[in-house]
A and B are shown apart, each in its own frame.
Chain A
Amino acid sequence: MLTKFAGVVIIAIWGFVFPSILLGLSKVFHPKNPTPTKLLTYECGLDTQGDTWVQFKVSYFMYALIFVAFDVETIFLYPWAIKFQSLGLFAIVEMFIFIAILVVGFWYAWKEGALEWM
């Protein structure tokens, strides 16, 4: 098992090396002539106004919260999905109760307007 994940690390290393080769090749060929105007932030010809790294609206993070709840649920659902054919009725009923609890939470978030993009 460990050998297999070592293989994944090797693939990831290749993933880093290959773009580096492309970037290196490009470094050999491309001209290098930066001027202050060229390095300005591109905003369709106008100078940029104000700060870009601002605080983002809070409703955006509501999605993230609900996402975390659902994502944790999937971690529980996958082992269940593999084994539920051999576990019988008990496993099905139990998981439906689990999903039902989540649906109640989802319904509450929906009712409170957390799913509205404004």
Chain B
Amino acid sequence: MQIFIDLANWLRAWILGMGISTTATELILTAVWTLVVILFVLINLIVLVWIERKSSAFMQQRRGPNRLGPAGFLQFPVDIVKVLGKEDITPAAADKFIYKIASTCAFVTAIVAIAVIPFGPGMVLENLNIGIFYFIAIGSTATLSLLMAGIASNNKYSFIGGMRTVAQMISYEIPMVFSLLGVVMLAGSLNLTDIVASQKNMWFIVPQCIAFIIYFISTVAETNRGPFDLAEGEQELVAGYFVEYGGIRWAIFMIAEYGNLVAVCAIATIMFLGGWNAPFGLTFLPPFLWFMLKVYCMIFLFMWVKWTYPRIRIDHLMHFGWKFLIPVSLANIVVTGIGIYVYRMITG
């Protein structure tokens, strides 16, 4: 969307015109665009929650929300208003300070992870040269806020939920990182914009289809979504690490969770599905819309998996991660390395 870049240039010229130094101008612009991205994620959230509730209803042969607005579209905005008016309870036994900051920390990690994602050519908050490495580093800290919530609640359900989350997230972190490594080897860069640019002729899902499947499975576990949502398994742990949370603090956790979902789907799109490159030369849509279309397809895939498969057992989950995904992802790196070397030998 050229209009955003034009707007940024106009804003930059306007702030510079007031006699502020270049560095300060860039920082002010970052602040403005961050607000835009947060609002964009929130608008996405309204659509995503609606899609999730409607598609799950469709898969379970229910109707889903259908009272407020067209096809229940306004249900979620009304829920937000309801949540704002809910009483904010801090259990007497809880570790008050950590209990209160845990939800904020979850939101911070989600929004900081989104910072490096390019939504279109030039439409990135911070175009870091270590992009994907930064994303992995920040993504792994998301575990901490969930552990904080789980332990600080001083509730046995939360405690087990928090511990399970950590075990699950560190186990699936490794296959995820290794699956992204194959793409980095092909692209020869960590910068997300460069990676998208190197997929102009062929999306990396073609040479790295196994890596894509590994990435998909491990990010389902990383974002704690079904069938790997053991951390919050409703039937056994009530709601896992946020049993005690209610009202707006719970809502902030949900926003962070959907923010993470958008982030990992955007990374999948950038690394494997060609980012904003149009498929088959169909360039009638702007790059930004192609990008969002692919991200939404990925998100729908996540929801489809969530509402199709039953939850699996925790020991099966850990064994699958350690004894199957890690060896396969290591083998993928070796095969990719040899493959690239042989290819370069043949082509010279």
Contact = CB atoms under 8 A, between A and B. Distances in A.
B68 to A, nearest CB: 20
Contacts of A108: none
Given A81-B184, A82-B189, A85-B188, A63 B112 contact: no
A41 B34 contact: no
A99 B334 contact: yes
B171 A63 contact: yes
Interface residues of A, number: 66
Interface in A11-41: 11-12, 14-16, 18-20, 22-23, 25-27, 29-34, 36, 38-41
Interface stretch (B59-67, B151-159, B262-270, B275-283): B151-159
B225 to A, nearest CB: 20
B196 interface: no
B174 interface: yes
B338 A92 contact: yes
B301 to A, nearest CB: 26
Interface stretch (B7-15, B89-97, B200-208, B285-293): B89-97
A47 to B, nearest CB: 11
B31 A10 contact: yes
B234 interface: no
A90 B146 CA distance: 43
A43 interface: yes
B220 interface: no
Contacts, number: 197
Interface residues of B, number: 79
Contact of A7 (B27, B133, B181): B27
B248 interface: yes
Contacts of B129: 1
A30 B159 contact: no
Given A12-B108, A60-B167, A115-B318, A30 B91 contact: no
Contact of A39 (B92, B181, B344): B92
Q: Secondary structure at chain B's binding surface: helix, strand, loop or mixed?
A: helix
Contacts of B252: 19, 22-23
Contact of A15 (B26, B90, B108): B108
Contacts of A64: 170
A37 B83 CA distance: 22
Nearest to B38: A18
B232 to A, nearest CB: 14
* Residue in A19, A36, A63, A78 whose Cβ sees the most chain B Cβ within 10 Å: A19
Contact of A85 (B23, B84, B170, B344): B344
B6 interface: no
A103 B329 CA distance: 12
A42 B30 contact: no
Interface string B168-190: 00110110011001001100111
Contacts of A4: 126-128
25 contacts: A7-B26, A10-B34, A20-B104, A22-B84, A23-B88, A23-B249, A23-B252, A26-B88, A26-B247, A29-B85, A31-B87, A32-B87, A41-B153, A48-B156, A53-B154, A53-B159, A67-B171, A74-B178, A74-B181, A77-B333, A83-B188, A92-B337, A96-B337, A110-B322, A110-B323
Of all A-B residue pairs in the complex, the 7 with the closest CB atoms, nearest first, are A15-B108, A26-B248, A39-B92, A117-B315, A7-B30, A15-B111, A81-B184
